[in-house]
Amino acid sequence: MSHTETLAKILLGPLLLVQGLYTRRVTPKLPEAEGERQGEVGSGEVLRLLIVGDSAAAGVGAATQGEALSGRLVERLAEDYRVRWKLWARSGLDSQGLLELLEQHGPERFDVALLSIGVNDVTSTLALDHWLARQRRLMALMCDKFAVRQIVVSPLPPMHLFPALPQPLRWFLGFRARRFNAHLADLADRVDQCTMLITPLAPEPGLMASDGFHPGPMLYRQWADDAARVIDQRFRTTTIKTGVEDV
């Protein structure tokens, strides 16, 4: 734990706890987006896509999966590929919960996995080193059990800008999110199969969901566009290198 975080917990601990409980109580509980969570669409070279994670991956903040991350991403990739896709996501998951969810599924082969996890870890008391250990386990599991060739890691959002969070809780969670992100970027750089997205999804007015905590449809579109560019660039390079396509 950093000196700043330790000092903040000592000086602000009771206030942060009260604000956290209050925010959890008053923040509207939005449903996950409705719609299909797997399918096949497009034409051309087959790209097997897995989207995994928490409430953002599940599309909270959008009415349908078509307006959420999965729908926008599949729509973009289907312009160039025959996309066989699956979405395994659930509101409230932290990294340990996602590990358990992935363990429940049988082995399956995917070319690309898009990962969205971490906000529920940041809002907990989980230490940074424990969180990084879980990220390494997630990456290893996706490569070993699901034969993933490319892991696209979504950064934690800029929680210091979340309108639903009061101060100083907003500052504290933002500090933790930025710290977690910096180490996640270092980890992604060291893992050959990993690419971390860099486009900042700024929670500007009108772009967030009504709870002030989740992306709205426009932010999901930006997120999907960024991911599609990275996936397309890396997938073409990988396919050229291997010269073969698994069926």
Query: What angle (nearest 5°) sits at the alpha carbon of residue 100, between those of residues 52 and 34?
Result: 40
- Dump pLDDT digits (tens) for 168-183: 989 999 999 999 999 9
Residue 111 token pair:
């070319």
Residue 192 has pLDDT above 70, yes or no: yes
Mean pLDDT of the chain: 89
Residue 108 token pair:
């399956």
Between 66 and 14, residue with greater pLDDT = 66
Stated pTM of the model: 0.89
3-class SS letters over 92-109 = CCCHHHHHHHHHHCCCCC
- Residue 4 CA, chain-centre distance (Å), reads 26
Residue 159 token pair:
């929680």
Least confident span in 120-129, 163-172, 215-224 = 163-172
Helix orientation angle between 3-26 and 169-190, rounded to the nearest 10 degrees: 110
Residue 243 has pLDDT above 50, yes or no: no
| pLDDT for residue 19 | 77
Helix (H) or strand (E) holding 152: strand 150-153
Residue 202 has pLDDT above 90, yes or no: no
Residue 40 has pLDDT above 90, yes or no: yes
- Dump pLDDT digits (tens) for 88-147: 999 999 999 999 999 999 999 999 999 999 999 999 989 999 999 999 999 999 999 999
Would you call 85 helix, strand, or coil by DSSP? strand
Helix (H) or strand (E) holding 12: helix 3-26
Residue 219 has pLDDT above 50, yes or no: yes
- Per DSSP, what are the bridge partners of residue 83? 41, 47
What does the pLDDT average to over 40-47? 96
Highest mean pLDDT among 54-58, 213-217, 234-238: 54-58
Domains and CATH numbers, the chain: 3-241 (3.40.50.1110)
Burial status of residue 125 (CB atoms within 10 A of its CB: 0-12, 13-18, 19 or more): exposed
